[in-house]
Each structure stands twice: as structure tokens, then as C-alpha cells.
Amino acid sequence: MLKVAVAFAVSVVLTGCGCTTVGCDDALRIDAAALADWIASEAFTIEVCVDGNCGTALEVAGTSSLPWIRFPLSEVSADEIVVEITVTSDSETKHAAGTVALVSHRPNGAFCPPTCTGADITIDGDQVRSR
């Protein structure tokens, strides 16, 4: 019986049948709780710039209870990126920036595709940093 189990495990490793099919994409995940002081109960917009390429990450017409705010990354080939986050509401605008390291991971296993790149980031005062 042990020989059968070992043979099965070896065939799974060699054929790749042990991979799951979870997909992923390259993205920043911004810790929304770190923005709590910036976000009032009014409408707000969060703009994110990565290495100078900007886009709107989130527009909310009231309070948000999201744990993370996702911002897709595209065509990033560096190990580190410069991230700028601007939160604009009716009453004020706040800004934070910093350089964060990108991390690659394989959600289906170490030897299974796809490979995704991203970073979990948080805001500390006016600094963006890796979480």
C-alpha cells in the first residue's frame, strides 16, 4: 500500500496533476483600516499612482467597511515601486507616498502557474509602506 501511495505522489509531482486552478492577478492591496482617519462619513475618492501611472482605486458615496482596497498593477517589472495615494473628500485632500517591495507568489503551489506579483501596503502618517 505504501508503494502505491508513493507512486501516486511521484506521478502527481511529475505530471502537475497536483496543481489547483486558482487564478490571480497582479495587484496592490491597500489596508483600508489604515485610511480610517482619512475617510470621513462623506463621499471620497482614492487615487493611486504606481511609478507615475495613476488611476482611481475607489469612489465611495459614504462610509466604507472594506478591509482592503485592490488596485491592479500592469506591466510592472521592477522589484520595488513608488506608490502615491491621494484621498479626496468634499472637505479635504490627504496624500501619502513611499517605495514598496513587490512580492511574487504562486497560489496553486510552488511549482504551479500562475505567478502573481503584488504588495500589501499600509499608510503610516504620510508614508506608504509594505505591510
DSSP letters of 38-64? T--SS-EEEEEEETTEEEEEEEESS--
Distance CA 126, CA 131 (A): 15
Instruction: Name the percent of the chain lying above pLDDT 90.
Output: 28
Mean pLDDT of 72-79: 82
For the segment 5-21, the average pLDDT, to the nearest whole number, is 54
The torsion angles phi and psi of 92, rounded to 5 degrees, stand at -165, 170
* Nearest to 111, CA basis, from 37, 24, 16, 28: 16
pTM for this prediction:
0.74
Whole-number pLDDT of residue 8: 40
